[in-house]
Amino acid sequence: MDSRPTILVLNGPNLNMLGVRQPEIYGRETLGDIEAMARERGADIGLTVDFRQTNDEGELIEWIHEARGTAEGIVINAGALTHTSVAVLDALLLCELPVIEVHLSNIYARESFRHHSYISPAARGVICGFGGRGYLYALDAMTRLIAGSED
Amino acid sequence: MDSRPTILVLNGPNLNMLGVRQPEIYGRETLGDIEAMARERGADIGLTVDFRQTNDEGELIEWIHEARGTAEGIVINAGALTHTSVAVLDALLLCELPVIEVHLSNIYARESFRHHSYISPAARGVICGFGGRGYLYALDAMTRLIAGSED
Amino acid sequence: MDSRPTILVLNGPNLNMLGVRQPEIYGRETLGDIEAMARERGADIGLTVDFRQTNDEGELIEWIHEARGTAEGIVINAGALTHTSVAVLDALLLCELPVIEVHLSNIYARESFRHHSYISPAARGVICGFGGRGYLYALDAMTRLIAGSED
Amino acid sequence: MDSRPTILVLNGPNLNMLGVRQPEIYGRETLGDIEAMARERGADIGLTVDFRQTNDEGELIEWIHEARGTAEGIVINAGALTHTSVAVLDALLLCELPVIEVHLSNIYARESFRHHSYISPAARGVICGFGGRGYLYALDAMTRLIAGSED
Amino acid sequence: MDSRPTILVLNGPNLNMLGVRQPEIYGRETLGDIEAMARERGADIGLTVDFRQTNDEGELIEWIHEARGTAEGIVINAGALTHTSVAVLDALLLCELPVIEVHLSNIYARESFRHHSYISPAARGVICGFGGRGYLYALDAMTRLIAGSED
Amino acid sequence: MDSRPTILVLNGPNLNMLGVRQPEIYGRETLGDIEAMARERGADIGLTVDFRQTNDEGELIEWIHEARGTAEGIVINAGALTHTSVAVLDALLLCELPVIEVHLSNIYARESFRHHSYISPAARGVICGFGGRGYLYALDAMTRLIAGSED
Amino acid sequence: MDSRPTILVLNGPNLNMLGVRQPEIYGRETLGDIEAMARERGADIGLTVDFRQTNDEGELIEWIHEARGTAEGIVINAGALTHTSVAVLDALLLCELPVIEVHLSNIYARESFRHHSYISPAARGVICGFGGRGYLYALDAMTRLIAGSED
Amino acid sequence: MDSRPTILVLNGPNLNMLGVRQPEIYGRETLGDIEAMARERGADIGLTVDFRQTNDEGELIEWIHEARGTAEGIVINAGALTHTSVAVLDALLLCELPVIEVHLSNIYARESFRHHSYISPAARGVICGFGGRGYLYALDAMTRLIAGSED
Amino acid sequence: MDSRPTILVLNGPNLNMLGVRQPEIYGRETLGDIEAMARERGADIGLTVDFRQTNDEGELIEWIHEARGTAEGIVINAGALTHTSVAVLDALLLCELPVIEVHLSNIYARESFRHHSYISPAARGVICGFGGRGYLYALDAMTRLIAGSED
Amino acid sequence: MDSRPTILVLNGPNLNMLGVRQPEIYGRETLGDIEAMARERGADIGLTVDFRQTNDEGELIEWIHEARGTAEGIVINAGALTHTSVAVLDALLLCELPVIEVHLSNIYARESFRHHSYISPAARGVICGFGGRGYLYALDAMTRLIAGSED
Amino acid sequence: MDSRPTILVLNGPNLNMLGVRQPEIYGRETLGDIEAMARERGADIGLTVDFRQTNDEGELIEWIHEARGTAEGIVINAGALTHTSVAVLDALLLCELPVIEVHLSNIYARESFRHHSYISPAARGVICGFGGRGYLYALDAMTRLIAGSED
Amino acid sequence: MDSRPTILVLNGPNLNMLGVRQPEIYGRETLGDIEAMARERGADIGLTVDFRQTNDEGELIEWIHEARGTAEGIVINAGALTHTSVAVLDALLLCELPVIEVHLSNIYARESFRHHSYISPAARGVICGFGGRGYLYALDAMTRLIAGSED
């Protein structure tokens, strides 16, 4: 029986296309590669990683709802919904779990409409600019949040 | 045969979680409780109440479309979509039915990004801050709008 | 001896002209009609309704001051002072009574300078767009606030 | 019996101090001087001029209310209320009389917070920068508005 | 020999079309009618009225330059250049003559981009909303400015 | 075998209601009519037109993803998502196909919140205000973009 | 005798330099080439095309004035005046003809000060980003506007 | 005979409620206590303190008018009118007396709409955050302003 | 042995030049004069006054750090750093001592960029416009804050 | 035969009035004086100076167009068009010559609407505040730009 | 001889106080603790960690200058200078090294003036909200940037 | 004995790195080269050039203070402090010497946060975009300011 805590790793719109498009710019890393890395890291540090992607805001919200009672924390890269969705913010606020926000690129060095995140006020921390590796840092930090060593 | 007018009562993202989360803050009233109250009140004042919730903007829009020809009015608590969705506004504008906007809490006393509603210009009236009871006031007001006594 | 709780129903500038001007637009309901409805509803639900109107900000503030110790709640339609008076906000904040804000029309569907209310942060709830009937909903909600059933 | 139309000439806060303060800047013309000029001009062109001043927004609003049925037009120099009072705007809108806005100085060449007038949308025309003489132009223009020659 | 002071009355873009377009909205008064009225009034009060119109910003600026030494004052309706031309402002500032700004309609009750006038800071006074009659008030006021009775 | 290039013509929320609502305002043209016209024009100029509508942002994004490898260009009328969806913008940016933005009405002459399009930076061109005919111009322009004659 | 309707095609500042400058960026198409295409298309669809260019705002305004009574519609690429000229807007508003706005490039994907068009509120439609071909779409749309088939 | 200079100490809306409301927050000091302290301090430093409170903007303005000729300086805590009244600013500007602005709490550490004071440009100095004691500092500073030792 | 509480009186950039420059404007009072006054007042009311000035933000921050454990309160005139330094705000927030903000002139009556103080949220009170005397009021108020009589 | 490079020195609206108006403020230097200085300096450093002034935006644009092929660089003082003309910016961008922007006064120390220059993005450098001498610095810098020693 | 790459870890104003102040809020971790952790992690992953703190913007800039030629990367927590210093941004831009920005708390969930970082455009990535552990993630990410595996 | 006037040439943060970084972009000119040029030019035109650079705002301010009595003018390139330091502005205002602002690049053609200079209001003139040569123009202009020929 698996008694390891489950971490929901959620990915928003367009992230399924990662690595497919413009590899000379975004690198060749696909979301599948990131999922594999995240699962492996999870296994190493005693976490069950439940990794998902959706292009649908409604589905993303419902996954966050489900997290209550089934997961111990949420790592989220909401993609472009980061900048426009109050509904995702509200879902994160009500799930009452520790949340860590991840972005592949440094959104604060891009177009000005990408500098604002509706989601950040619901997050314990934000990591951006490190590609798929950012998810690993988030998982590491999540273990500590769950363990209560940093709160 | 039921000849009573049907009122569509629509609820947007995250409202399904009502009463589950932080009852010390939001109270213990669930959306099911509100639905029951609304149906009962509808029965009392001669309305059929069709009460629904979705976390999906697309589904919400389609329910509004369906209202044309099947319902006589719409009571809507669009949740966080209130503040971000021009598409819901457009759906309400084109359905050509009386619309009443409801919010459980007083959105005008919360964060500034919750003060603006895209939906209000399509509504006859707005009720906020009275929890589930606000839906009852909305149903009452709707009877009068339908009866044409206040227009 | 009257032991029923007193609710102060306050009306701000220009509301005395209601029903007199442009009845084809605003309807024929006068402030006197609304007062009569409100008193009757108060009688029905066990409230003494003290209904007043003034065009003077100073008088409005003093009525709010008097409410401390003499009334159990305030229903207020501050008219245009809604949008400009920090002094009325401060009076409402210091009276330490439940406050409900009412507007006859849907101010959020009118000129943009009418979308902001200084008063809303002091109110438990806001009702707008239902003409005189909004006062009745406010009285109903007030009974519950006083009874402590929704706080 | 006087069958000449009555024009209400209303003056807002601080205008009673005209000519008393800083005559080297504002000139030696007092509000009494302007009233005399206005009455004389009224007599010449067949108008009864009812000239008033108040420092109280509430009183100003009530004078505008009274104008319905007793006056044919309003000339108003609302002083600083021009820039802050939505309530005076509302009173002017509901009185359903022709309104002309006057200012002694050119408000558009002063501090930026004096460039905006809440009242202008209710006025047929605006005259500013000509001291007391502006009132005479307003009376002249009012005769024509009443006569319907320019509407 | 004509020793009467000359007043330059300048009209900017599109004013030549006055009375031609939409007479049901703007009235049937043409710029020629206004010119005739202005000349007649000028004759009555001892002014030579030099009345001109141009659709060209450059020409308008040069007419203002010429005014130095040949005219005693400028009455200007700069049309849409009012809202966009710093160059006309600069020309008015350097001509060192009294300037009065006129508009046919009440620009402060129209679209918000028409509320700002670059020219007003160079003007002694502003008259708007009285059609062609505004020019007559401006000429009257100009006589007094020239006579130094109001400065 | 069909070797003609496929153009995806995508329609966002509420466009399925076209022609149904307020025909006196929007005309009687339905989305079906536009689809027929577009298919016919496509046939004439050698394009396969794949015409779709959805009220769901997630579905719209997935259709854009699918376009990679199956279509040669995208004509998009994103409806109200035009003004709110960064996710649709990102989908268009990553599909690396020529994109043309179409609107039935002239959005730049409507409410100010409709003047901004998140999508335009991803488009080669924008056509608005010509009803269904705008789609035909877009198809014509698309042929040329594909042929590389204008790039 | 030519009974075909005349369409005035107006081009604003700097468009005479088209094709001369930076052909690697803007293409080699000159304004003369566009004029030839437009005339030919006009001949095909039964329009007389009167094609003009000026660098002078005043001249542009006067051409619009002349259109009243001599032309049936205006296609306008006002160049940079699009973003700065209220006077051109006013001229278009008063000419009471159908107007279509054209831009060679997609102005909504350029510097932010090019996103706003003063002219759009006077236009039935806007076409941008298709180079000279945009003029042809505009002529086609104009025929329909004149025929009254789309209004 | 009293030849000591008179200082008008003016208090605006809601300050009469001081000490009554929420003593755990605002302290138990009443306006009466402050008045007593101020009179005593006045006596010590040779000033007659004329201490007043009103909830009425009109009355406040008239008290400022009266100050001309009867008082040597004004200490003012305009309460919420600080943030909204241009009319009080104008009254202070025209009274031509030294003015000191006082606030009980540090308004610059409260809600952002309390950071702006219309009155400050008319004041020699501002003191806030020291409760009733701030009035004593103001009186002390006023003696020096009157004595001309700091101007 | 000195057991009197120490108050750190800190002065930011350019204040060392006080009295040297433009004495006709700023008066002849030097920072040395203010220091002498402050020390004398401190002696009178039982405070040790540690009075310093620096033009260096880093040094100012370190002095604030040192205050922890060595001083009982901070009176600060941060000069122009008031308007630009979040680092000084942070230092004041972390020192956990009562802070009073002083300015020689009334900054709220100067250029608009001087109206905002980053430091005010960390201060109990603000005194401005009274020259060196403001420091004395601040010391007096500080004694009371330390004594706990006003907290 | 003159083989020296030609520099176009262009002056915009109102600069022809230089030295005529308010010599006590702007100095007695006329545009003719500046032209003479510029020509002389040009002769010294091997440049042909073609010095022009116009009050007409259209003429200014055409002079810039002509510069292609006839001049090696442009020195421009666009006067008030600096702040309002996108058309002049576009003309400068397309002429593909080195451009230096000159202003007689320090525009960054004047009214805020003079702080923004549409033209600066097209310029290699900006010189302001040195009167006619600024033109000489511009000519000197231009020689170096042409020689390619600083690019 | 040490051939391991050196990473400069820079800390800005107030960070020296970490752990000293309000341990119940910020935790008991001191900057010394973080330095020790960072050195240890550096040793593990083959980096020499040069860890520094300063309260002085000038010193911070000079340390960044020195990094050229002596370090392979910079990890920077600029403290409050993050929000105010363009000079630190410029230093980072010119040092031409990979930069990672770290913050102890989630600045995007704090006061709005802490949401903007001048430094982010110079950084490859940003990590905030994880206390001292964020530095370790930054060092790990830096190894990869140096190794060129993620660029 | 040297009786030539001394001009302080001050350089702010990061300018010491000039020529070191990215020579392909900024050129190979170092600050030492500019100093040499400036000294040589100074010698030619009879000025003693005191040329300094600092990365420290506090030191820059103190150098400006020292200038009083020891220098006749200040040429300043404040680097990034231009955009953020009110303290440097204040120092320049109080030194009561002629000031000329220099920038190596055209700051008005760079990022928008570099368009605003706090320092410009204290400067007689601004020169930007000409690299080190701009300092020479500034020295030349300074001679004239000192000689009083242009003031």
C-alpha to C-alpha distance for E134 and E142, rounded to whole angstroms: 12
User: What is the distance in angstroms between the Cα of G88 and the nearest Cα belonging to chain J?
Assistant: 14
In a domain, E1, yes or no: no
Distance CA J94, CA J122 (A): 9
Subunit contact A21:F96, Cβ cutoff 8 A = yes
* Tokens, residue G100: 């279509």
Active site residue H103: yes
Express each pLDDT in L96-106 by its tens digit.
Answer: 999 999 999 99
Q: Looking at residue K24, what is its pLDDT?
A: 65
Task: Check CB contact under 8 Å for G126 and F131.
Answer: no
Band of the pLDDT at I148, cuts 50, 70, 90? confident
Whether residue E105 lies within 8 A of chain G, CB to CB, comes out as no
Confidence band of H3 (pLDDT split at 50, 70, 90)? confident
Chain C interface test: which of D59, D82, D90 (most C C-beta within 10 Å): D90
Q: Within an 8 Å CB–CB cutoff, is residue K113 touching chain I?
A: yes
* Packing angle, helices A133-147 and K133-147, rounded to 10: 160
Is the pLDDT at H106 greater than 70, yes or no? yes
F106 touches chain B (CB under 8 A): no
What integer pLDDT is reported at residue H134 of this predicted model? Answer: 97
Q: Does D111 touch chain C (CB under 8 A)?
A: no
Contact check, Cβ <8 Å, A21/F94: yes
- What is the model's pLDDT at position J122? 96
Q: Which residue of B has its CA nearest to F81?
A: B87
CB distance from C14 to chain D under 8 Å? Answer: yes
Tell me if there are at least 3 CB pairs under 8 Å linking chains D and C. Answer: yes
**Chain D within 8 Å of E121 (Cβ-Cβ)?**
yes
**C-D contacts at Cβ under 8 angstroms:** 58
pLDDT along chain C (151 residues), means of 10: 86 93 74 97 97 98 94 97 96 95 93 94 96 97 82 37
Closest A-chain CA to F86: A80
Does residue H102 sit within a domain?
A: yes
Say how many domains are in chain B: 1
Mean pLDDT of H16-34: 83
Active-site residues of G, by number, are: 26, 103
CB contact under 8 A, F114 and B86: yes
At L109 the three-state DSSP class reads helix
Indicate whether K1 belongs to any domain.
no
Task: Kindly determine whether residue C20 and residue D68, on different chains, have CB atoms separated by under 8 Å.
Answer: yes
Looking at residue B2, its pLDDT comes to 61
Q: Which single residue is written with the structure tokens 């003034």? A: C54
Cα distances (Å, whole numbers) of residue B59 to A56, B32, B55, B65, J88: 11, 20, 8, 10, 51
Q: Residue K13 — pLDDT band, cuts 50, 70, 90? A: very high
Mean pLDDT (chain E) is 92
Separation of alpha carbons E124 and E141, rounded Å: 10
Query: Taking a contact as any Cβ pair under 8 Å apart, which residues of chain I between 28 and 47 contact chain K?
Result: none
Of I14, I20, I84, the CB nearest to L61: I14
Among the listed residues H26, H83, H108, H137, the single catalytic one is H26
Choose from F28, F101, F137 for mutation: most chain G CBs within 10 A. Answer: F137
Low-confidence residues in chain J, pLDDT < 50? 1, 150-151
Cβ-defined contact of K54 to I58 (cutoff 8 Å): yes
Report how far residue H126's alpha carbon sits from residue H106's, in angstroms, rounded to the nearest whole number.
11
pLDDT at residue H150, as a whole number: 42
ipTM of the complex: 0.92
The pLDDT value given to residue K26? 67
CB atoms within 10 A of CB F46: 11
Cβ contact K–G (≥3 pairs, < 8 Å): no
Which amino acid is it at L118? Y
* B48: containing domain: 6-147
- Percent of chain C, pLDDT > 90? 83
Residues K97-139 have pLDDT tens digits of 999 999 999 999 999 999 999 999 999 999 999 999 999 999 9
CATH number of the CATH domain containing B26: 3.40.50.9100
Catalytic residue among L83, L103, L115, L135: L103
Q: Is G25 touching J (CB cutoff 8 A)?
A: no
Query: Left (φ > 0), alpha (ψ -120 to 50) or beta: where does G14 sit?
Result: left
Report, as an integer, the average pLDDT of G115-129.
96
Tell me what pLDDT residue C26 has. Answer: 67
A61–B20 CB contact, under 8 Å = no
SS3 at position K115? coil
- G62 Cβ under 8 Å from any chain E Cβ: yes
**Which pLDDT belongs to residue I20?**
77
Q: Which residues contact C6 (CB under 8 A, 6 or more apart)?
A: C47, C48, C49, C50, C70, C71, C72
Chain C residue at shortest CA distance from H26:
C94
Do chains G and B meet with 3 or more Cβ pairs nearer than 8 Å? no
Token pair listed for J120: 């600066």
pLDDT per residue as tens digits for the range A67-112:
988 999 999 999 999 999 999 999 999 999 999 999 999 999 999 9
**B-F C-beta contacts closer than 8 Å:** 57
E strands, K62-131, are 73-77, 99-103, 125-128
What is the per-residue pLDDT for L41?
97
Average pLDDT over residues A38-45: 97
DSSP H80-106: GGGGT-HHHHHHHHHH-S-EEEEESS-
Tokens of K101: 């920005």
Query: For chain F, which residues score pLDDT lower than 50?
Result: 1, 150-151
Contact assignment for I129 to H124 by CB distance below 8 Å: yes
pLDDT digits over K21-36, tens only? Answer: 767 666 789 999 999 9
Q: Which amino acid is at A68?
A: R
Residue type, E39: R
- Render the burial of D84-93: b for 16+ CB within 10 Å, e for the rest: bbbbbbbbbb
Asked if B76 and B102 count as a contact pair (C-beta separation under 8 A), the reply is yes
Per-residue pLDDT at H151: 37
Share the mean pLDDT of chain G. Answer: 92
Round the CA-based radius of gyration of chain J to a whole number and report it.
14
**What are the residues whose beta carbons fall under 8 Å from the beta carbon of H50, sequence distance 6 or more?**
H6, H7, H8, H9, H71
H or E element at residue D100: strand D99-103
Average of per-residue pLDDT across L110-139: 95
In DSSP notation, E75-123 reads EEE-TTHHHH-HHHHHHHHHH-S-EEEEESS-GGGS-GGGS--SSGGG-
At E151, the pLDDT band (50, 70, 90 cuts) reads very low
Mean pLDDT of chain D: 92
- The C-alpha atoms of residue G122 and residue F129 are separated, in whole angstroms, by 12
Total-model pTM: 0.94
- Examine the pLDDT at G149 and tell me if it is beyond 60: no
Grouped pLDDT means (10 residues each) for chain B, 151 residues? 86 93 74 97 97 97 94 97 96 95 94 94 96 97 82 38
| Cβ contact G95:G71 at 8 Å | no
Residues of B with a known catalytic role: 26, 103
Judged by DSSP in three states, A3 sits in: coil
**F66, two tokens:** 């699918």
Question: What integer pLDDT is reported at residue C25 of this predicted model?
Answer: 62
K with I: touching (≥3 Cβ pairs within 8 Å): yes
Q: Is G12 an interface residue toward J (CB < 8 Å)?
A: yes
Cβ G61–E54 below 8 Å, yes or no? no
| Residue G1 resides in a domain | no
Residue K30 with chain I: CB contacts under 8 Å: none
Q: Are J144 and J150 in contact (CB under 8 A)?
A: yes
Confidence band, pLDDT 50/70/90 cuts, at residue K149: low
Q: Min CA distance, A90 vs chain K (Å)?
A: 15
Taking only the tens place, the pLDDT of each residue in L6-44 is 999 999 999 999 987 767 666 789 999 999 999 999 999
- Please compute the mean of the pLDDT values over residues D84-105 and round it to a whole number: 95
Q: What is the DSSP string of C17-71?
A: GTTTS-HHHH-S--HHHHHHHHHHHHHHHT-EEEEEE-S-HHHHHHHHHHHTTT-
